Amino acid sequence: MQIAANKAVSIDYTLTNDAGEVIDSSAGGAPLVYLHGCGNIIVGLEKALEGKQAGDQLTVTIEPEDAYGEYSAELVAVLDRAMFEGVDELEVGMQFHASAPDGGMQVVTIRDIEGNDVTVDGNHPLAGQRLSFDVKVVQVREASPEEIAHGHIHGEGGHHH
């Protein structure tokens, strides 16, 4: 069975950056299971997997625009510590939900703290990076009507309700 929209796909993968450093991997754990065509994985990897089947292996490099987007300086802001009311200890690396420029919600990460100035970054940690995936397709199956309706896989390796 080939990978196509609304198929449940299981993959083993290793993700590296341009320097060859491993960023993430399923090695030693369960395969990643996702619903193809529903935006559960980055668009560049999804495109590369289209039409593949169980047993196929591939190495693919994904440019930022098909991964987590280009890095945007507009998503970096310096806020006053008072904006973090109710949080006693602020630390670099902490993440918070904040209002996005489009009115929705986004996750921001504290990048720097200097006195009362707190620098936050709304970019995804992998924004602006070219990503390389070594992937092996483990299994392709029909997704259940419930999985398709929910837009994600249920059970082992997928979403649990």
Please give the Cα distance from 77 to 159 (Å, whole number): 34
For residue 144, the model assigns a pLDDT of: 94
Domain assignment present for residue 158? The answer is no
Tally of structural domains, the chain: 2
Domain assignment present for residue 55? The answer is yes
Each of the 161 residues of the chain gets a pLDDT tens digit; together they read 999 999 999 999 999 999 999 999 999 999 999 999 999 999 999 999 999 999 999 999 999 999 999 999 999 999 999 999 889 899 999 999 988 777 888 899 999 999 999 999 999 999 999 999 999 999 999 999 999 999 999 875 555 44
For residue 159, the model assigns a pLDDT of: 52
Q: Is residue 79 exposed (0-12), middle (13-18) or buried (19+ Cβ within 10 Å)?
A: middle
| CATH number of the domain that residue 89 is part of | 2.40.10.330
For residue 89, the model assigns a pLDDT of: 93
pTM for this predicted structure? 0.82
Residues 131 and 89 in one domain: no
Q: Is residue 9 exposed (0-12), middle (13-18) or buried (19+ Cβ within 10 Å)?
A: buried
Domain assignment present for residue 38? The answer is yes
For residue 161, the model assigns a pLDDT of: 45
Domain assignment present for residue 161? The answer is no
Residues 46 and 59 in one domain: yes
Which residues share a beta bridge with 46?
A: none
Element at 117 (helix H, strand E)? strand 117-121
- Note down the domain range covering 139: 7-68+127-150
Domain assignment present for residue 39? The answer is yes
Residues 51 and 100 in one domain: no
For residue 154, the model assigns a pLDDT of: 85
What is the layout of strands, in order, in the sheet containing 117-121? 76-80, 117-121, 105-114, 95-99
Query: Which amino acid, residue 130?
Result: R
| CATH number of the domain that residue 140 is part of | 3.10.50.40
> Buried (b) or exposed (e) across 12-47, using 16+ Cβ within 10 A?
bbbbbeeeeeeeeebeeeebbbbbbbbebbbebbbe
Domain assignment present for residue 36? The answer is yes
pLDDT, tens digit, 9 for 90 and up, residues 103-116: 888 899 999 999 99
Please give the Cα distance from 28 to 84 (Å, whole number): 39
Residues 60 and 132 in one domain: yes
For residue 94, the model assigns a pLDDT of: 95
Residues 116 and 133 in one domain: no
Domain assignment present for residue 111? The answer is yes
